[in-house]
Amino acid sequence: MRLDLDNARERDAADPLRHWRDRFVLPQDAEGRELVYLCGHSLGAQPALAAEYVEEVMRDWRSLAVDGHFAAHRPWITYHQRLAPVLAGLVGAEPIEVVAMNTLTTNLHLMLASFYRPAGSRTALMIERHAFPSDRHAAESQVRFHGLDPARDLIEIAPREGEDCLRTDDVIEAIEREGARLATLLLPGVQYLTGQALDVAAITTAGRRAGCTVGWDLAHAIGNVPVGLHDAGADFAVWCHYKYVNGGPGAVAGAFVHARHAQRDDLPRLAGWWGHDRATRFQMGPEFRPIPGAEGWQLGNPPILALAPVAASLQHFEAVGLAALRAKSVALTGFLEALIDARLGGRVTILTPREPRARGAQLSLRLECGRDRARAAFDGLRARGFVPDWREPGVIRAAPAPFYNRYEDAWRFVDALDAELAAA
Ligand SMILES: Cc1ncc(COP(=O)(O)O)c(C=O)c1O
């Protein structure tokens, strides 16, 4: 594999998705120079179309006010419903199984309220030891909410000693070992720190065989890797839209509830009027009849201004298709990996799995020069106009996003890191 700058540029010239970069507004430094943005795993870059969608809502609000609910260019009353088919495609679901609402952590609590139902000897909630803090706080507080003790009923699975990633066999073995006392399993589709993509199908199957409910946090997976929630049989999933989905800071999040639960009025849930039957919602009656499917978990009417950038971005996903994005992503991240191995081998360890099917766009790097020098190298990268991010205890995450990153970005990043490490 040729790994020089000319080769990176040849790859960009041959990239069938290269023109999509022009539809994004990439950040610049104080002098107006474009930054090399590698942080789509944290906050995706802005699609230019997002501003138009937001302005459309502002315009409709100005001219129509309350009538905008039904008469807006894209009526607000059904705004979220129009997103469902594209979202369903991104997570491998049927439209009835997905809804855009709230934030990820809110949705996680709503889902756990319905699907973590400790009873008899099945009281435990299983998470990973290195779960994103919000997932851990949600899980732990849910255990306490049921009057249980996290020391006993919050089970953690961790990578083996000396390893960074979870082995699928170990996860399945833990599920089988703890099976009889497991009420719910909650895992990430893509682990935020290592970038590892878990085997959603195999782990969900094992969880369901063990008799527990299975939920997924797809924050780092949606728009990044293909996920097949419906076929896997997951009970629920939650995600945000501000990472690879490019929906903007604090964008309205998403949730999945499997179709087998769609008509279940018996499931306990924390309800609100936007989850009530659409046909009778405005009769303002006291009874609650949930909309079949994920929409039945909605609470209040959605923040349309915060949904608008998500709607704009999903239009791009619909036009390109996840398969084409994923194909470029595998090639682009593979190129970044090959460059790191060739130029930084021995000085940088890639924590992310090597097999493309076990990762998304992100590579997580440990610099083998001690935490403080690694932090100095990271600061140096920022000063040179590169935007990866830093996560304690000393990991640099860099994600070339297929919508707007180039092979040249990967080359320049590794070249700059090489220079920073030489200076460290
Ligand atoms: C894996 C994961 N879970 C949960 C969250 C929290 O999401 P929110 O703040 O949108 O609720 C994040 C945020 O980055 C995340 O990466």
What pLDDT, in 10s, does the model give residues 79-137?
999 999 999 999 999 999 999 999 999 999 999 999 999 999 999 999 999 999 999 99
Q: Which atom of ligand 1 is nearest to the CA of 105?
A: 11
| 99 membership: H or E segment, kind and range | strand 98-100
Evaluate whether 43 touches 244 at the Cβ level (below 8 Å): no
**Cα-to-centroid distance, 219 and ligand 1 (Å):** 6
Mean pLDDT of 310-329: 98
Q: Residue 1 — very low, low, confident or very high, per pLDDT cuts 50/70/90? A: confident
C-alpha span between 136 and 159 (Å, rounded): 17
C-alpha span between 78 and 85 (Å, rounded): 13
**Cα-to-centroid distance, 220 and ligand 1 (Å):** 9
∠378-398-246 over CA atoms, to 5°? 125
List, in sequence order, the alpha helices (H) in 345-387: 371-383
Identity of the amino acid at 244: Y
Mean pLDDT of 233-261: 98
Mutate to test the pocket of ligand 1, among 105, 216, 240, 389 (most ligand atoms within 8 A of CB): 240
**Cα-to-centroid distance, 307 and ligand 1 (Å):** 17
Q: Residue 39 — very low, low, confident or very high, per pLDDT cuts 50/70/90? A: very high
Mean pLDDT of 186-205: 98
- C-alpha distances in angstroms, 105 versus 135, 140, 217, 239, 316? 7, 13, 10, 9, 26
pLDDT at 423: 87
Mean pLDDT of 195-216: 98
- C-alpha distances in angstroms, 121 versus 150, 182, 304? 15, 8, 44
Q: Which atom of ligand 1 is nearest to the CA of 253?
A: 10
> Which residues surround ligand 1 with Cβ inside 6 Å?
103-105, 132, 134-135, 188, 192, 217, 219-220, 240, 253
Q: Which two tokens stand for residue 150?
A: 């996290």
Q: Which two tokens stand for residue 280?
A: 């009778």
pLDDT at 424 over 80: no
Mutate to test the pocket of ligand 1, among 134, 222, 239 (most ligand atoms within 8 A of CB): 134
Mean pLDDT of 290-310: 97
Evaluate whether 409 touches 6 at the Cβ level (below 8 Å): no
**Cα-to-centroid distance, 97 and ligand 1 (Å):** 21
pLDDT at 393: 84
- For atom 14 of ligand 1, the residue with the nearest CA is 42
pLDDT at 105: 98
Q: Which atom of ligand 1 is nearest to the CA of 250?
A: 10
**Cα-to-centroid distance, 134 and ligand 1 (Å):** 6
pLDDT at 254: 98
Q: What is the pTM of this model?
A: 0.97
Evaluate whether 302 touches 310 at the Cβ level (below 8 Å): no
**Cα-to-centroid distance, 343 and ligand 1 (Å):** 33
**Cα-to-centroid distance, 46 and ligand 1 (Å):** 19
Q: What are phi and psi of 139, to 5 degrees?
A: -65, -45
- For atom 5 of ligand 1, the residue with the nearest CA is 134
Q: What are phi and psi of 266, to 5 degrees?
A: -80, -15
The set of residues, in sequence order, having a beta carbon less than 8 Å from that of 318 and lying 6+ positions away, is 86, 89
Q: Which atom of ligand 1 is nearest to the CA of 188?
A: 1
pLDDT at 282: 93
**Cα-to-centroid distance, 418 and ligand 1 (Å):** 31
C-alpha span between 208 and 285 (Å, rounded): 38
Please name every residue paired with 111 in a beta bridge, in sequence order, or none if there are none.
none
**Cα-to-centroid distance, 241 and ligand 1 (Å):** 10
Q: Considering only CA atoms, which of 189, 177, 242, 184 is closest in space to residue 208?
A: 184
C-alpha span between 156 and 162 (Å, rounded): 17
Mean of pLDDT over the chain: 97
